[in-house]
């Protein structure tokens, strides 16, 4: 074997090891991030935190959320980034309070929440498996999903004023599809070496899963049994 070939093989092996390490660390941190999310949700429901359930609350949420995301990206190469990310996931758990309280008012509320969680986990398994096994390049999916996200945001803002129930069903259904596509795209970026920072990768995947869960639960709430 020539020296140049040996170097190429060595570089390929090193690159593969880095990808596996980033993917493994991403999954571990993603699993860990679920703990503060659940804690935040429990605290929010117990204290009935509803400050974010208004226009002012939405603006406050956006300011705090983007502040967290900025801090996470700024510190993504250190342990501080992990701590800030976990703080962010606790905050996102608090943000679930209005939806969870509304769902828990149904007789089968707890079952609906567990179903939404199970559905989100199933989407994660399916998309991660496809991204890992498939040789197809899903970069175009990311572009399509981003365009769809812009339309989704505009539609959501419009429906805040019109409050059309059927329109909300369509928005939630499309949102599940869009964030599932983002999930496929983001996981494959890690698998293919396009994302080499596990904190950034975890943040992207977490936000995808969070939005899938929220929209699935919103859809399942339509089947809630009134007490």
Q: What is the pLDDT of residues 81-137, one digit of tens each?
A: 999 999 999 999 999 998 999 999 888 889 999 999 999 999 999 999 999 888 888
Query: Six-digit token pair at 219?
Result: 């859809």
Determine the Cα–Cα distance for residues 9 and 16; give it in Å rounded to an integer. 11
Determine the Cα–Cα distance for residues 146 and 67; give it in Å rounded to an integer. 21
Q: Is residue 6 in some structural domain?
A: no
Q: Is residue 10 in some structural domain?
A: no
Q: Is residue 2 in some structural domain?
A: no
In angstroms, how far is the first alpha carbon of the chain from the final one?
Answer: 74
For the stretch 31-47, pLDDT in tens is 999 999 999 999 999 98
Q: Is residue 67 in some structural domain?
A: yes
Q: Is residue 164 in some structural domain?
A: yes
Q: Residue 119 in 3-state DSSP? A: helix
Determine the Cα–Cα distance for residues 36 and 95; give it in Å rounded to an integer. 12
Query: Six-digit token pair at 137?
Result: 């390049």
Residue 202, number of CB atoms within 10 A of its CB = 29
Q: pTM for the whole thing?
A: 0.89
Q: How many distinct structural domains can be found in the chain?
A: 1
- Residue 132 domain boundaries: 20-223
Q: Could you tell me the CA-to-CA distances from 71 to 6, 66, 178 in Å, in that order? A: 41, 8, 26
> In the chain, how long is the greatest CA-to-CA distance?
75
């Amino acid at each position: 074997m020539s020296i140049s070939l040996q170097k190429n093989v060595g570089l390929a092996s090193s690159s593969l090891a880095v990808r596996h390490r980033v993917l493994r660390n991403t999954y571990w941190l993603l699993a860990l991030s679920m703990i503060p999310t659940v804690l935040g949700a429990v605290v929010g429901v117990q204290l009935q935190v509803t400050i974010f359930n208004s226009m002012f609350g939405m603006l406050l949420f956006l300011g705090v959320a983007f502040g967290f995301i900025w801090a996470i990206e700024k510190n993504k190469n250190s342990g501080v980034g992990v701590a800030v990310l976990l703080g962010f996931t606790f905050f996102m758990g608090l943000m679930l309070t209005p939806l969870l309280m509304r769902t828990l008012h149904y007789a089968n509320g707890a079952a609906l929440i567990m179903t939404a969680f199970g559905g989100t986990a199933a989407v994660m398994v399916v998309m991660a498996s496809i991204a890992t096994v498939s040789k197809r390049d899903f970069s175009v999916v990311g572009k399509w999903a981003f365009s769809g996200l812009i339309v989704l945001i505009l539609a959501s803002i419009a429906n805040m004023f019109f409050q059309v129930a059927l329109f909300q069903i369509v928005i939630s259904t499309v949102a599940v599809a869009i964030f599932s596509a983002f999930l496929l795209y983001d996981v494959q970026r890690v698998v293919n070496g396009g994302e080499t920072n596990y904190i950034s990768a975890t943040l992207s995947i977490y936000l995808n899963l969070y939005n899938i869960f929220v929209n699935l639960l919103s859809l399942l709430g339509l089947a809630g049994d009134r007490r």
